[in-house]
Amino acid sequence: MSFPRRPLVDVPAVTTDQMREVDRLMIEGAGISLLQMMENAGRSLAAVVLARYPEASITILAGKGGNGGGGLVAARHLANRGASVTVVMGADDLSPVAAHQFSIVKAMGVPLVPEPVAADVVVDALVGYSLRGAPRGRTAELIGWANESPGQVVALDMPSGVDSTTGETPGAAVSAGATMTIALPKTGLVASDLAGHLYLTDISVPQSVYATLGVEVPADLFTQGQVLRLT
């Protein structure tokens, strides 16, 4: 499977604050729930992983927030398509949406293990645009493991540890072979050399949301498909 190509220069990038506002306006203004956005992102992430690495074994590193929830959705879709998937959680204190996705994966019988295992592909779903300072503790340990793993790394939204506005790395950061970012590229992602090949997925953001923020997005951005390859 291949994805339609779109030049990165044709797609606007947003800062962390702008992306937070996009999420807020989607939920409060358009009535699109975080669970709906997460479902779209996780399904697309699974599609990117399968397209790049068919028949690969996959270890998913999932954090406690929305990024981790998206990784858990991807785990579900990958398992449903017959992929060999193992999930490692980066925290126990999950947000409500991540906990919801975790309960589904657990009920499905997707292997949940305390420590990561070697796999052909490592999915980094630890930290998205919510990074504040250097990753610490368990998250930092799993970032180190991902970088040392011989498997190919695919990041969700941002390589964990990379600031989504500046591209700076205040501490440990994932070096990804590919990153699937959500809604629009982040300015820090465009500035970073840790993202690898860049993909973009639609999570059904209405044009009116971008118009409210003064962000000019091509009306035909996703007319060719839900996932685009940018680099």
Instruction: Answer yes or no: CATH 3.40.50.10260 is held by domain 8-229.
Output: yes
The one-digit pLDDT tens for each residue of the chain (231 residues) are: 789 999 999 999 999 999 999 999 999 999 999 999 999 999 999 999 999 999 999 999 999 999 999 999 999 999 999 999 999 999 999 999 999 999 999 999 999 999 999 999 999 999 988 888 899 999 999 999 999 999 999 999 999 999 999 999 999 999 999 999 999 999 999 999 999 999 999 999 999 999 999 999 999 999 999 999 999
Strand partners, 85: 58
Spans of all domains in the chain: 8-229
Strand partners, 109: none
185 backbone φψ class: left, alpha, beta (φ>0; ψ -120 to 50): beta
Report the predicted TM-score, pTM, of the whole model to 2 decimal places. Answer: 0.96
d(CA 34, CA 225): 21
